[in-house]
Amino acid sequence: MPSVSTTDTSELEAQEPRRLDVDVLVIGWGKGGKTFAGKMAAAGKSVVMVEQSAAMYGGTCINIGCVPTKTLIHSASEKRAADGDQKFFEDAVDYRDSLIGKLNDVNFHMLADQDTVTVVDGRACFVGPREVEVTPSAGGRGLAEHLRITAETVVINTGATPVMPPIEGIDLPGVYDSTSIQHAEPFPQRLAIIGGGPIGLEFASMFTNFGSEVTVIARGETILPSEDRGVRGVVVDVLTDAGITLRTNASAEAIETRDGGLAITLSGGGSIEADAVLVATGRRPATEGLNLTAAGVEVDEKGAVIVDDHLRTTAEGVYAMGDVHGGPQQTYLSLDDSRVVMSALTGDGSRRVSSRVAVPTTTFLTPPLSAVGMTEDAARKAGCAVKVATAMVADIKAMPRPKAVQDPRGVIKFVVDAETDLVLGARLFHVDSQEVINLVALAMRAGVTASELRDGIWTHPSSTEALNEVLGQLE
């Protein structure tokens, strides 16, 4: 395994780059990239993994995304009234950091300990087809050296970065993005969140449970505009009952300091005062500085790398995985991207992006909101004859688990094809929904009918057994 270089990076950059020629070059350590790199190394291929920051060994999900935020969400759910806000938050962040440090280390060794893998700390920039120049980064554990790397196969796996809209004052102290808010200092007693999408709402639920007074500013008429209307209404009720203020049909025009805190000026007049502001207005593909033109790689109007059904870019031998090629931004899709590319390179090419069906999602509110397939409106617009089963969680007699863990909030809704009895979509807003939705998604992919789910034998007490009663409405 390469040792840490103690040479000043400015000296390295001035040196003539050393050349490496390998089988596989992966730029960016996300879920898809690291999985692909590991499999190619196991097959005997020479692999270089270039990661610009040692803090990102393992990718976004491990270090700043899914795992750390869900760790904080769980910690927040454990807070009691007697716990001090600042100290409890600090302890939660300390635990988050300890866990992420361990996962970061595991991910580094996952690749670095393989004989045919070279981990390079630096920033890659294309200088030609399947050729990059790497400017070394300090502070890592991989090879920190000015390099020029050519490869038979190149994978762009650089992920996405937060969108920071052009709002006056957005660079003021106390204004955070979804990464920096995880280490907010001091703990914000009043938090304003710009953006009413899943990321903003997850942090709204989290910080409310930590003890903040939270206001969400959403540009549209409602939060979660593409969600089922009835289910969304229950979500709104749960959030507002928890103390979250939802300001819809509003947008932030400016942020300024005021009375030791911050004030957000809203369109149409008025303002919101807060101790901190979270900007959660989406994420864009991270392609800046890659010089993709030199590689012959084209991007779309949003900056996403253009790929085909096998994730091939417009340049021969160059593929893209994960958030960098646009579309839904989920770690498990990045993982499946690695399967698609492996199928194209070493298999029969039968695995394609377009073959994905019934892909579930979860927004980790408290309780979590999970979804798969079509909403009722979408199914009807598609011309389907549907049957609908809906039940408030508190009213489901055969679902004692939410009551046992003292959170019977939420709603369950299924949309079923009236002719085939197949599940077209489901919305689960309840304790454990992030687990139950996987069962429903698998049933949809396998052609299991709603009646078979209804008549399933499930453990007790569990959230899954709600299927017996809710789908029983369709008899």
Enzyme catalytic residues: 460
**Contact, 201 vs 222, CB < 8 A?**
no
Q: Judge contact between 254 and 224, C-beta under 8 A.
A: no
What does the alpha-carbon distance between residue 101 and residue 93 come to, in Å, rounded to a whole number?
12
DSSP 455: T
- Contacts for 260-268: CB closer than 8 Å, 24+ residues apart: 261/174, 261/190, 262/169, 262/172, 262/174, 262/175, 262/192, 264/192, 264/194, 264/217, 266/217
459 by Cβ neighbours in 10 Å (0-12 / 13-18 / 19+) ranks as exposed
What does DSSP assign to residue 197? S
Tokens of residue 368, six digits: 């979590």
Q: Residue type for 345, please?
A: L
Residue corresponding to tokens 């709600």? 466
Place of tokens 């009691």: 80
Place of tokens 């303002």: 271
State how far the Cα of 49 lies from the Cα of 71, in Å rounded to an integer.
28
Report CA 98 to chain centroid distance, whole Å.
21
Cis amide linkage into residue 367, ω under 30° from 0:
yes
Q: Which of 465, 381, 459, 363 has the alpha carbon at shortest distance from 424?
A: 381
End-to-end distance of the chain based on CA atoms, in angstroms?
62
Q: Do you find a cis peptide bond into 461, omega within 30 degrees of 0? A: yes
